[in-house]
Amino acid sequence: MAATIRDVAQASGVHVSTVSRTFSAPHLVNPETRNRVLAIAEDLGYRPNRAARALTTGRTHNLGLIVADIANPFFPPLIKAAQAHARLRDYHVFVADTDEDPQVEEELIQTLTKQVDGVLLCSPRLSNRAIEKLSEDVPFVVVNRRLRGMSTVLMDVGHGARLAIEHLTALGHRRIALLAGPAGSWTSREMSDAARAADGIELTVIGPNSPTEHGGIAAAEAVLAADVTAVLAYNDLMAIGLVEGLDERGVEVPGRISVVGVDDIVPGRLTRPKLTTVAMPTEAAGRTAVDLLLQLVGAGETATPALATLATHLIIRDSTGPVPS
Amino acid sequence: MAATIRDVAQASGVHVSTVSRTFSAPHLVNPETRNRVLAIAEDLGYRPNRAARALTTGRTHNLGLIVADIANPFFPPLIKAAQAHARLRDYHVFVADTDEDPQVEEELIQTLTKQVDGVLLCSPRLSNRAIEKLSEDVPFVVVNRRLRGMSTVLMDVGHGARLAIEHLTALGHRRIALLAGPAGSWTSREMSDAARAADGIELTVIGPNSPTEHGGIAAAEAVLAADVTAVLAYNDLMAIGLVEGLDERGVEVPGRISVVGVDDIVPGRLTRPKLTTVAMPTEAAGRTAVDLLLQLVGAGETATPALATLATHLIIRDSTGPVPS
């Protein structure tokens, strides 16, 4: 059992409140007493209350990681990679989930910034302006959103979307639908920019949609009404839901409609047909984001923001096939 | 933008350090000054550093939630239910992942207990004794472990295991394997106690195993060597992995071997065959755990520990069938 504040007080011959004050407001403690208490605390291996220590050293050795939806299998590999990478550097990572709600996101940022040395914000739904304001108090790294003047980690989903559309056009598809993601999503905008710029296709954009299996199921009617032969979905969860929704209506994938997702989450390998998808480098993104954040934490106010763009690639499985004749 | 400490200092006519001290060590500030600073801080809507406020009020309004593996789809519904339930009560929940590692679990508990008003510990891998020691500083609720003298939320997996075995014996199975989970798991012990007590079956216990898809794949050989016709796996991830491992060896599920999982995670509904499983009440567990924890937080030292046991049930899908003749 670790030494308590009482052990330190007794060994130092001072009152418990003096030990407490030595860590929480050291300038208020007589230097001689302060030095004695600190030396004894170290000898006994006393772990000061980290909140109190944070007030003294300005470091909590904790990082906050905010994600849009912890239940989306996209995030856990990113979270776990960030945690493992931070742990090697003596940092703990605390995760909070915004439930895709910008207001909750704002609350969580306000709370976390007071308690950690830096914040990783993944797939934000807040506006750029709101994020800039909220990030003034503590080093910030944003994942999946381009924000000038802030350190950002991007996964190059525009490139992935182009690869997906090339794959579909090579299979003869011309009438393609894009199932867009949530309104505030940078990833969704990148995908739609890439799709709109593609040559020789007739594009229908459907959305915004909830980035979930339910969002995909709900979009099945709109996909059928759009009279397309292929769909690129904002993420794998929506793609899986869309395949379900089409299956319920007796529409075969890929026989009548080809479907491509984005993310390469594990469930996409379990469904039948197995999902063709744009693989996102989630683990590398988690590690890179921690590296950039700890650079900012170390550099203090002199830090310059960095931009890391990570490559994506296409994984062709069984949910895409030739255009029906 | 919220008021800063500088705004409060200026409006109160004191130095910034006095404002800081008013929140971090109020007993050291002249009462008249203190009252003026606090009144002005309230007028300006100044949000004191929560770490500092925690030192003063003893409340952070944050809860910690520690899980064994955030990438296991079992945990996110529990986490999200706990977060939503806590938010209604003005509490934030910060999540940390132990990566199934007892040492990391111990570190995270030590760190979190200093920063939050209470801790929810889900599916611990530490010993009971270690948990009891670590939980001395802050209210604790344990999920999926029976611990006398502590508030606990149990999902009645023993009952679920009995239902699963009754289902298998009704289908004619007599030689049944139990794929055990990790060594420190209460759930795994409950399941094996229930299976050993079952009448009229010949039980082979295989394990401990890693509670992951890979753990299930790796166990396929041992299952075949055990010459059984049915398997009850510690969780759905292992069951999904086992089905994959058997499929690679040309062994049909449920044609030659029936497989039952535990948890009812989403991927179990996407695999072919769809997984028969014991459904665990994860969302109810998350909410109940928050309720018990906030009772403890509110009651302080007078709190009495509570035990909640939540029911499980069997969902029969396509991975179980009659014993092969």
Give pLDDT, residue B51. Answer: 47
pLDDT bracket for residue A124 (50, 70, 90): very high
Give pLDDT, residue B28. Answer: 65
For residue range A268-279, list pLDDT tens digits in order.
Answer: 998 889 999 999
At residue B85, what are phi and psi to the nearest 5 degrees?
Answer: -65, -40
For residue range B120-142, list pLDDT tens digits in order.
Answer: 999 999 999 999 988 888 899 99
Q: ipTM of this complex > 0.85?
A: no
List Cβ neighbours of A189 (8 Å cut-off, separation of 6 or more). none
As a whole number of angstroms, the distance between CA A143 and CA A147 comes to 10
pLDDT over 80 (residue B52): no
* Contacts B213 to A, Cβ<8 Å: 266
For residue range B82-133, list pLDDT tens digits in order.
Answer: 999 999 988 999 999 999 899 999 989 988 888 899 999 999 999 999 999 8
Helix (H, G, I), strand (E, B) or coil at A279: strand
As a whole number of angstroms, the distance between CA A153 and CA A305 comes to 11
* Contacts B25 to A, Cβ<8 Å: 21, 24-25, 28
Pairwise CB contact (< 8 Å): A107 & B92: yes
Residue A6: CB atoms within 10 Å:
11
pLDDT over 90 (residue B210): yes
Q: Which residue in the block uniquely carries the two structure tokens 């991830």?
A: B237
- What six digits make up the tokens of B21? 């001290």
- What six digits make up the tokens of B70? 């955030």
Strand runs labelled E in A144-229: 151-155, 175-179, 202-206
pLDDT over 70 (residue A51): no
List Cβ neighbours of B159 (8 Å cut-off, separation of 6 or more). B194, B311, B312
Helix (H) or strand (E) holding B178, with range, is strand B175-179
For residue range A296-320, list pLDDT tens digits in order.
Answer: 988 766 678 899 999 999 999 999 9
B163 in contact with A, Cβ within 8 Å: no
B108 in contact with A, Cβ within 8 Å: yes
CA distance B39 to chain A (A): 21
pLDDT over 70 (residue B26): no
pLDDT bracket for residue A49 (50, 70, 90): low
Give pLDDT, residue B75. Answer: 96
Mean pLDDT of chain B: 90
Q: Which residue in the block uniquely carries the two structure tokens 């928050």?
A: B290
Residue B45: CB atoms within 10 Å:
9
Measured between CB atoms, which of A25, A83, A97 is closest to B83?
Answer: A97
Among B47, B95, B263, pick the best mutation site for testing chain A contact (most A Cβ within 10 A). B95
Share of chain A above pLDDT 90, in %: 68
For residue A42, give Cα distances in angstroms to A33, A39, B5.
14, 5, 32
- Whether residue B29 contacts residue B21, with contact meaning beta carbons closer than 8 Å, is answered with yes
Chain A 33-72, residues with CB within 8 Å of chain B CB atoms = 47, 49-52, 54-55, 60, 62, 64, 70-71
At residue A141, what are phi and psi to the nearest 5 degrees?
Answer: -130, 130
* Terminal-residue alpha carbon distance, chain B: 73
* Contacts A104 to B, Cβ<8 Å: 87
pLDDT bracket for residue B57 (50, 70, 90): low
Is the model more confident about B220 or about A305?
Answer: B220
Pairwise CB contact (< 8 Å): A111 & B92: yes
For residue range B138-170, list pLDDT tens digits in order.
Answer: 899 999 998 888 999 999 999 999 999 999 999
CA distance B200 to chain A (A): 35
Q: Where are the domains of chain B?
A: 5-48, 60-155+282-311, 157-280
Pairwise CB contact (< 8 Å): B114 & A50: yes
As a whole number of angstroms, the distance between CA B298 and CA B293 comes to 9
| Residues forming beta bridges with residue A120, ordered by sequence position | A65, A141
- What six digits make up the tokens of B204? 């082979």
User: How many residue pairs bridge chain A and chain B with CB atoms within 8 Å of each other?
Assistant: 129
pLDDT bracket for residue B24 (50, 70, 90): low
* Rounded average pLDDT over B306-310: 95
For residue range A81-98, list pLDDT tens digits in order.
Answer: 999 999 988 899 999 999
Pairwise CB contact (< 8 Å): B267 & A266: yes
Give pLDDT, residue B35. Answer: 78
Mean pLDDT of chain A: 90
DSSP per position, A38-60: HHHHHHHT----HHHHHHHHS--
pLDDT over 60 (residue B272): yes
Helix (H) or strand (E) holding A310, with range, is strand A307-310
Give pLDDT, residue A303. Answer: 73
Give pLDDT, residue A23. Answer: 67
Measured between CB atoms, which of A50, A73, A114 is closest to B49?
Answer: A114
Architecture of the domain made up of B60-155+282-311: 3-Layer(aba) Sandwich (3.40)
Q: Is B227 exposed, middle or buried (0-12, 13-18, 19+ CB in 10 A)?
A: exposed
CA atoms within 13 A on the CB side of B30: 5
A3 in contact with B, Cβ within 8 Å: no
CATH for the A157-280 domain, from 3.40.50.2300, 3.20.20.60, 3.90.1280.10, 3.40.50.970:
3.40.50.2300
Q: Which residue in the block uniquely carries the two structure tokens 């049909």?
A: B252
Give pLDDT, residue A309. Answer: 96
Chain A 7-36, residues with CB within 8 Å of chain B CB atoms = 21, 24-25, 28
CA distance B79 to chain A (A): 8
Identify the CATH class of B5-48: mainly alpha
- Whether residue B51 contacts residue B81, with contact meaning beta carbons closer than 8 Å, is answered with no
Any idea what DSSP says for residue A2? P
CATH fold match for the domains A5-48 and A157-280: no
* Rounded average pLDDT over B235-240: 97
As a whole number of angstroms, the distance between CA A66 and CA A89 comes to 20
Give pLDDT, residue A47. Answer: 63
pLDDT over 70 (residue A260): yes
Is the model more confident about B178 or about A38?
Answer: B178
For residue A137, give Cα distances in angstroms to A63, A109, A143, A150.
14, 10, 18, 13
Residue B21 identity: R
Helix (H, G, I), strand (E, B) or coil at B132: helix
Length of chain B: 325
